[in-house]
Amino acid sequence: MKNPNLTTENFSSANRNYFIDFKRAINNSHYICITRSDKLLDGGYRRSNVVVFEEDFHFLVSAFSSLFHAAAHSHLEGTEYCDSQKIGSQKGIKGIKTWAPDMRPREKFIAHGTDALSDAELMAILIGSGRPNQSAVALCEAILKAVGGRLDLLAAQGHKSLSRFKGIGLAKSSAILAALELGRRMCAVD
């Protein structure tokens, strides 16, 4: 039996149709199926799918958050879009203080709470600053990318491993590792 859609969204652009389905799997877990359907010249369709499982939803949300964050700041460069890793290293981007107040991690945290921030933005609050040509958020995005977005793998890193990122020294690596250790201890109490 086909897995039922719990909800669906779709949109079309030119000869392409996109379907985003939220489904329940046989084992009662959930997943998102994104389907692109291209109309071919012969009248047929070519379909391609991407499936994201429930345990990876937070990675998908974080990736979209970073993507939209980078796109929101691309106007500083006069380009239509820019890669999220490049957002903090583009000329003309001086740092988070030049961003619109509602986009700055600390201000978002105060106004909307932790749920409004990506992991990179939370880490950026911890380290306080980036480098002359890279914002704290972009620096933290690079660190998270190196560990596949997994905080458990980040917590297993040492000072030397984190210090390989330009802009991360003993003080900033200590802040990151100390915060992760506090989180581990909090979970151990439960």
The predicted-structure confidence for 60-118, as pLDDT tens digits, reads as follows 776 777 667 666 655 444 333 334 444 433 344 457 877 887 788 988 899 888 888 89
Average pLDDT, stretch 159-180? 93
pLDDT at residue 72 in the model: 61
> Long-range contacts for 105-110 (Cβ within 8 Å, ≥24 apart)?
105/136, 105/137
pLDDT-above-90 percentage for the chain: 39
User: What predicted TM-score, i.e. pTM, was given to this entire model?
Assistant: 0.53
Confidence of residue 121 (pLDDT cuts 50, 70, 90): very high
pLDDT-above-70 percentage for the chain: 83
pLDDT at residue 171 in the model: 94
> Long-range contacts for 26-29 (Cβ within 8 Å, ≥24 apart)?
29/53, 29/54, 29/55
pLDDT at residue 85 in the model: 40
Comparison of pLDDT for 171 and 67, the residue scoring more: 171
pLDDT at residue 74 in the model: 52
Comparison of pLDDT for 32 and 72, the residue scoring more: 32
pLDDT at residue 114 in the model: 86
pLDDT at residue 81 in the model: 37
Here the tokens at position 156 are: 């297993």
By mean pLDDT, which of 54-58, 94-98, 150-154 is the weakest?
94-98
pLDDT at residue 71 in the model: 64
**Strand, helix or coil at 106?**
helix
Q: Which CA distances in Å does 94 have to 75, 99, 137, 166?
A: 14, 9, 12, 16
> What average pLDDT does the structure give for the chain?
82
The domains of the chain, with CATH numbers, are 5-56 (3.10.450.700), 58-189 (no CATH)
